[in-house]
């Protein structure tokens, strides 16, 4: 009789990983493969090396910055760094043995060959946020409460607002995660933080399972990143993970039933409650708006028949579109769950800055308002911008990321005076405009090849100026990613700002001469 072959190595590895729930756990000698060597990958590898793990880093890039980072990681104790596109698809051995864990950067899709190889070998895959949650507890250092924020749009705005409110309350707090500061850098801070405002992308949530935030929110849900997740359903499922294991309050968008259903379906901790936010009148257990005031009917004892004022909408910014008020209400709900006062909320909003490239007025020239919203990288974000202005000359186009534009165009066709299309491949947007706004003039710019961004943007501004009249708004809200013609959405926004300023200078010179 043949004896069965028992593969107990994955089980032993899994048992060990399940015990790794603090900085002081036994990480020594753990065999880990880390994907990526930019901000996230570097912070992961550096952390694991400090913990005593045996780490091999794999990255598709092989440029000067990557080689410099590799040299630094080797100095701090990383076992090996493998650079280059040809090698980044292979799951390497660690000290000649199979890895026990893979920690991946958000840019690596689940379908990446290296990650598929790890899954086939029953090797667990974590993201940097999962690792951060597991190492945050350390003897002699305070452990921060987490407020987690996701959504198709508004994540960075809301996270920044939360950070400002927490700091206004005198707490040691920082915005981390997808917002730019690697979360592991904050977790490793010697002093520690009282609260972390954690912005989470759908990519980061995909690789996170153990998080137990104090309060959480999914701001909204719309089609995005279908190319990464494989389907909208998979994208939505990963977004919904933000609510899992929440301790105190799940915050949902009362104007979007999908987020409320996420909360209803979430496996939360006993005693956790649901709190809605809205830009309209709030019901009980909601934060909303009454006559220009953001008010709380959720975190007061008398919520059945009264509300407390948190802030005036005008406390937020110069331009206060509806979605910005929604972000402020969501942020207020999160920090109220953490015990902040109405005064803390108000002071935090007054200190808030819109940030770069998010519905930012650039100039008013001859009665025409020029607005930069380069950060509108998908239809949902662009819809929020378009809703704030009428009539609009819309500069749009770029990498579509597999999304559709029909609903966006149908919603806003009546406010469009003209559309100037940029982007190396904007056929999906152009098709939607032809179907649903056939009478709106379309201007297709030449020179759509990769890297032609500055010249194309200058042409887009010039074309818009030819059409615009006093009372119009020229809105650059591309509803697409930027990397076809620009290095980033920030580069795209700066290109627009520069082109508008050059137009302003030309008009000023012409007026002097006349």
What is the share, in percent, of the chain residues with pLDDT greater than 90?
Answer: 74
pLDDT for position 102? 98
Q: Can you tell me the mean pLDDT for 127-151?
A: 96
- Specify whether the CB–CB gap between 378 and 403 falls below 8 A: yes
Write the burial class of residue 345 (CB in 10 Å: 0-12 exposed, 13-18 middle, 19+ buried): buried
Which two three-digit tokens encode residue 371? 């607005």
Given pLDDT bands bounded at 50, 70 and 90, which one contains residue 6?
very low
For 304-335, give the secondary structure using H, E and C. CCCCEEEEEHHHCCCCCCHHHHHHHHHHHHHH
Binding positions: 151-157
Q: Which range (53-57, 76-80, 314-318) has the least confidence?
A: 314-318
**Prior bond to 391 cis, omega within 30?**
yes
Q: What's the confidence (pLDDT) of residue 403? A: 82
Whether the predicted pLDDT of 467 surpasses 60: yes
Contact predicate 273/298, CB 8 Å: no
Find the mean pLDDT for residues 270-297: 97
Cα within 13 Å of Cα(255), Cβ side = 18
Greater model confidence, 357 or 483? 483
What is the per-residue pLDDT for 228?
A: 75
For 14-38, what is each residue's pLDDT tens digit?
A: 789 999 999 999 999 999 999 999 9
Chain CA centroid to CA 243, Å: 16
Q: What is the mean pLDDT of residues 65-71?
A: 95
Note the pLDDT of residue 13: 64
What is the pLDDT, as a whole number, of residue 153?
86
Using an 8 Å Cβ cutoff, are 298 and 286 in contact? yes
219-271, pLDDT tens digit by residue?
999 877 777 777 889 999 999 999 999 999 999 999 999 999 999 999 999 99
Contact between 239 and 218 (Cβ < 8 Å):
yes
Cis peptide before 201 (omega within 30 of 0): no
d(CA 221, CA 143): 31
According to the model, what pLDDT value does residue 451 have? 52
Position 203 scores a pLDDT of: 92
Answer for the pair 79, 55: CB distance below 8 angstroms, yes or no. yes
Q: What does pLDDT average to over the chain? A: 91
Is 131's pLDDT higher than 60? Answer: yes
- In this model, does residue 4 exceed pLDDT 50? no
Strands 368-372 and 473-476, sheet pairing: parallel
Determine which of 12-26, 316-330, 353-367, 433-447 has the lowest per-residue pLDDT on average. 353-367
Pick the more confident residue, 446 or 83. 83
pLDDT given at position 2: 38
**pLDDT reading at 417 higher than 50:** yes
For the cut 90, the answer to whether the pLDDT of residue 388 exceeds it is no
* Higher pLDDT among residues 85 and 73, named by residue: 73
Domains of the chain and any CATH numbers: 30-123 (3.40.50.720), 139-350 (3.40.1190.10), 360-513 (3.90.190.20)
Q: What percent of the chain has pLDDT over 70?
A: 95
For the record, the structure tokens of 72 come out as: 């630094």
> Six-digit token pair at 104?
């991946």
Which of 181, 176, 224, 167 has its CA nearest to residue 200?
Answer: 176
Please answer whether residues 442 and 433 qualify as being in contact, where contact means their C-beta atoms are separated by less than 8 angstroms.
yes
pLDDT(41) > 90: yes
Query: What mean pLDDT comes out for the span 410-420?
Result: 96
Alpha helices in 64-127 (DSSP H): 64-75, 113-120
pLDDT band at 5 (very low <50, low <70, confident <90, very high): very low
Q: Which residues are annotated as a binding site for ATP?
A: 151-157
């Amino acid at each position: 009789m043949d004896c069965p072959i028992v593969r107990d190595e994955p089980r032993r590895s899994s048992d060990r990983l399940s015990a790794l729930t603090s900085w002081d756990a036994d990480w020594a000698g753990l065999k880990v493969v880390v994907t990526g060597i930019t901000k996230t990958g570097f912070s992961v590898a550096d952390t694991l090396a400090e913990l005593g793990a045996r780490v091999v880093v794999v990255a598709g890039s092989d440029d000067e910055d990557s080689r410099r980072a590799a040299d630094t990681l080797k100095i701090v104790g990383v076992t090996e760094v493998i650079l280059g596109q040809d090698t980044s698809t292979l799951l390497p051995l660690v000290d000649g043995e199979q890895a026990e864990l893979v920690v991946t950067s958000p840019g690596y899709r689940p379908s990446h060959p290296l990650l598929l190889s790890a899954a086939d070998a029953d090797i667990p895959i974590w993201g940097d946020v999962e690792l951060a949650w597991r190492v945050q507890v350390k003897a002699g250092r305070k452990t921060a409460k987490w407020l987690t924020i996701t959504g198709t749009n508004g994540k960075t705005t809301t996270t920044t607002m939360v950070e400002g409110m927490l700091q206004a309350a005198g707490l040691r707090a920082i915005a981390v995660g997808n917002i730019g500061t690697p979360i592991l850098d904050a977790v490793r801070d010697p002093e520690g933080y009282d609260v972390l405002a954690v912005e989470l992308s759908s990519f980061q949530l995909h690789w996170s399972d153990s998080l137990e935030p104090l309060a959480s929110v999914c701001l909204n849900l719309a089609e995005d990143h279908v190319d990464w997740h494989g389907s909208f359903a998979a994208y939505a499922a990963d977004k919904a993970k933000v609510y899992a294991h929440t301790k105190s309050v799940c915050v949902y968008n009362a104007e979007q039933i999908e987020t409320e259903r996420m909360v209803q379906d979430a496996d939360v901790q006993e005693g956790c409650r649901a709190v809605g936010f809205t830009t309209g009148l709030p019901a009980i257990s909601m934060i909303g708006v009454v006559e220009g005031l953001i008010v709380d009917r959720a975190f007061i004892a008398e919520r059945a028949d009264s509300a407390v004022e948190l802030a005036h909408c005008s406390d937020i910014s110069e331009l206060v579109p509806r979605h910005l008020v929604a972000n402020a209400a969501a942020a207020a709900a999160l920090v109220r769950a953490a015990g902040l006062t109405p005064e803390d909320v108000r002071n935090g909003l007054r200190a808030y800055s819109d940030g770069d490239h998010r519905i930012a007025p650039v100039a008013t020239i001859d009665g025409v308002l020029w607005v930069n919203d380069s950060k509108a990288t998908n239809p949902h974000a662009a819809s929020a911008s378009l809703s704030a202005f009428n009539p609009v000359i819309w500069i749009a186009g770029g990498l579509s990321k597999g999304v559709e534009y029909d609903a966006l165009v149908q919603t806003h066709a009546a406010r469009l005076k003209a559309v100037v299309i940029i982007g190396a491949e904007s056929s999906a947007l152009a098709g939607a405009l032809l179907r649903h706004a056939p009478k709106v003039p379309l201007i297709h710019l030449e020179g759509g090849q990769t890297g032609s961004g500055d010249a194309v943007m200058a042409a887009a501004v010039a074309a818009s100026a030819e059409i615009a009249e006093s009372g119009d708004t020229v809105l650059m809200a591309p509803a697409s990613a930027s990397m076809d013609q620009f290095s980033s959405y920030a580069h795209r926004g700066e290109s627009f700002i520069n082109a508008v300023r050059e137009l302003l200078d030309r008009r000023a010179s012409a007026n002097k001469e006349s």
